Every structure is written in structure tokens, then in C-alpha cells.
Amino acid sequence: MANSLVVEDFSLRHTLECGQFFRWNRASEDVYEVQRKDVSFRVWQEGGRLYFTDVSAGFVKQFFSLDHDLPAITRAIDRDPWMHAAIRRYWGLRILRQDPWECTAAFVTSIASNIPRITRNIEDMTGAFGIGRQFPLPEELGSEQRLRALRLGFRAKYLVDAARLAGAGLLEDIESMSERDGRDALMVIPGVAEKVADCVLLYAYGRLGAFPVDTWIRKVMRQIYFEGRRASDERIRHFASHYFGRYAGYAQQYLYVYSREHWDEIAAKSVPKSDTAVIRDLASKVMTTRVLARAQRP
DNA sequence: GGCCAGGTCCAAT
DNA sequence: ATTGGACATGGC
């Protein structure tokens, strides 16, 4: 027996398949089977109606962030033709509210990997150590040796450390911390540095300003906003937070999926013509801010 | 067959 | 502060 919900500005497909989340599969052409912690449910969308089994409407609203004001968010980040195209192409994509431990484990697993393999690694860990279909709790995750046997490679050691610290409660206080402090707390975990920490902040803690810089984002940001020149991850993040504002994380996600589908086009056209001046202006403001900050330092 | 993948860590500039 | 190599495994 399925329940349903009227949804606006939401695409189940784009939300699940954009690379932010790995614990789903297709039960059929339109039906997704989704696992989040101890919850396993089916979900499908028919136009403006979302159908689901085994979970409450409240859970669905929360998990899919149906409370986010997507029109306002996309209006805020819609600063140039590339972002505009990305938003149009993936209209309805929302940042999920994942479980912090699962999200941390998933993005530690993602290090120097690829989506099919990450998905398989997570399934393997669930099958080997989880109870039922639940991803193993921190206390249930196997030893480094057993994780290596599951082909986690050098990530095995990181996962063991992450489980130990998560089991000790590291992830529980982050909700109430500032973004900066939460990031620092996450980075205490060996195997969690800037990129993975930003993924967890964005995908699990709803810190929509977090801007994970991975190889794709680095490539596309340099191409579009830095005239093809190198820029450190720090500069990219700094630029993004000024340029896109408090919803920069959403911009990151749209850019991520869009660039993977349209890279050739981006590489060919480079800087968005109509907004080159705006970008240059902002980039110089960012530089000025940095210089001033440096000058004021004792 | 070498190169790179939703990186991180460590050591050497 | 920035840069290069190691780290496991897999897909092209």
C-alpha cells in the first residue's frame, strides 16, 4: 500500500542519481529502492506526485529536503549562463539529508574511486557486516584486514579510524557547531580532509554553503571561472562562496552533474561571455579581501 | 599497459 | 604554502 505526497520543484531521478548518494537501486524502470540507516523503502514519482511505501510522509519530506525553497536557492546561484543551463537541465535536484555516519563512510570510500565501485564497496560492507540491509553501524564495521578482503584497499585503515571516532560520538555534536568547527571536527578523522568533510557537511548536515572540490569541480571551475588557469582548492572554495553565496553547495552539485554530461561543451566555450566582467570583478574583490585580511593580521 | 579515478597523508622544498 | 609520490584496485 503506497502513500503519496504532492511535490513541487522536485525530481526524484536527479536527486538520487546526481552522485551525492549511493544507497539506491532500481526496482524497475521508475521505482527506486532506497536505504537510509535502518529504513528501507520504495519510491517513485509521477509528475507532481511522489509515491512511497514503508515510510511516513514526514520522513520523505525530511530525507528529500522538500522543505528547501528550491526556486529561491536556484535564483540565488543562477549567476551566469553555465549555472543557468545546469539548473535547467537538472531542475528538481535537491541536496539530501543523509545519515552522518553513512555519509562519512561513503565519502571515505569514495577517495580516488568512481561511482560504480563506491556503490559496490558499500554494498559489500553492508552484506558482510550489516544487519539486514542496514549499512554496518560503527561498532559493526569489520577490521582493516576484513575490509581489505572486501577490496577497499588503502581506504580500509581510514574506515576503521572513522568507525572508532564515530562510535566515540564524534559525529553527534557537529549538528550544533558552526560550519568551521564542524569541518575541523570531521577533519580529525584520518582519511577525512577538506573534500570529504565538505561532502559530509553538505550531504548530511545540511550546510548548504559547503563546496566540495573534487577533480571534476576543480577542472570545471578552472575552465569557467579562472580563464583555464590553475587555482588552488582554497581559492576555488573562496571564490565559490563569494560568487554563489550561502547556497554554494547547491551550485557545486548542479555543476558536478552538468559538467560530467557536458564537459566537451564547457571546454569548447570556456568562460560565459555575458558575465566575464562580473566574474572578473568578483575575483578581484576576493583578492582584495584576502590582501586586507593578510594586512590586518598581527 | 599506462593512466586516472568525487583524495589524503607525508616529506621535501 | 606548494608540490610529488605512495597508497589498492579497477576500468578504459
Query: What is the tens place of the pLDDT at every residue in A172-190?
Result: 999 999 999 999 999 999 9
Share of chain A above pLDDT 90, in %: 90
- pLDDT number for residue A292: 36
Distance A73 CA to B9 C1' (A): 36
Nucleotide showing the shortest C1' distance to residue A230 CA? C2
Lowest mean pLDDT among A195-204, A224-233, A237-246, A268-277: A268-277
Query: Looking at the 3D structure of chain A, how many domains does it have?
Result: 3
Q: Is A162 part of any domain?
A: yes
The nucleotide lying nearest A113 (C-alpha to C1') is B5
For residue A41, which phi and psi values (nearest 5 degrees)?
-150, 165
Average pLDDT over residues A1-8: 94
Q: Model-level pTM greater than 0.85?
A: yes
Residue at A72 is within a domain: no
Nucleotide nearest to A253 (CA to C1'): B6
Predicted local confidence at residue A235, as pLDDT: 97
Q: Tell me, what's the pLDDT at A1?
A: 73
Q: Report pLDDT for A280.
A: 47
pLDDT digits (tens, 9 = 90+) for A101-131: 999 999 999 999 999 999 999 999 999 999 9
Looking at the predicted structure, is the pLDDT value of residue A75 above 50?
A: yes
* Residue A285 pLDDT: 45
**A125 and A194 both lie in a single domain:** yes
Q: What is the CATH number of the domain that holds A58?
A: 3.30.310.40
Residue A267 has pLDDT above 80, yes or no: yes
Q: Is A210 within the bounds of a domain?
A: no
Q: Which residues fall inside 7 Å of strand B, measured at CB? A: A 18-20, 110-115, 154, 187, 189-197, 199, 212, 214-217, 252-253, 256
Give the pLDDT band of residue A295 (cuts 50, 70, 90).
very low
Query: Within this chain, do residues A194 and A129 fall inside the same structural domain, yes or no?
Result: yes
Residue A297 predicted with pLDDT over 50: no
Q: Report CA(A145)–C1'(C9) in Å, whole number.
A: 15
Domain of A19 in residue numbering reads as 3-67
Give pLDDT, residue A250: 98
Give the nearest nucleotide to A151, CA to C1': C9
Q: Protein contacts on strand C: list nucleotides below 7 Å from a Cβ.
A: 1-3, 7-11
CA to C1' distance (Å), from A198 to C1: 21
Q: Which of A67, A92, A122 is the last residue of a domain?
A: A67
Q: How many Å does it take to go from CA A220 to C1' C9?
A: 26
- What's the CA A68/C1' B13 distance, rounded, in angstroms? 47
The alpha carbon torsion through A244, A249, A255, A261 (nearest 10 deg) reads -170
The reply to whether A88 falls in a domain is no
Among A49, A67, A85, identify where a domain stops.
A67
- pLDDT for the residue A180: 97
Does residue A233 sit in the same domain as residue A184?
A: no
Distance A249 CA to B6 C1' (A): 14
Residue A22 and residue A52 share a domain: yes
Residues A69-96, mean pLDDT to the nearest whole number:
98
Overall average pLDDT of the A191-202 stretch = 98
Task: State the nearest residue by CA to the C1' of B9.
Answer: A191
List the grid coordinates of A271. 568562460
CB A95 within 8 A of CB A20: yes
Task: Output the distance from A217 CA to C3 C1' rounded to whole Å.
Answer: 20
Residue A158, CA: closest nucleotide via C1'? B8
Q: Is there a domain that residue A119 lies in? A: yes
Residue A36 domain flag: yes
Average pLDDT over residues A48-56: 98
Q: Is residue A83 a part of any domain in this protein?
A: no
Instruction: Looking at the structure, tell me whether residues A26 and A60 fall in a common domain.
Output: yes
pLDDT digits (tens, 9 = 90+) for A213-262: 999 999 999 999 999 999 999 999 999 999 999 999 999 999 999 999 99
CA atoms in the 13 A half-sphere facing the CB of A66: 18
Assign A271 a pLDDT band (cuts: 50, 70, 90): low
Under the banding of pLDDT at 50, 70 and 90, the label for residue A269 is: confident
Domain match, A111 and A201 both: yes
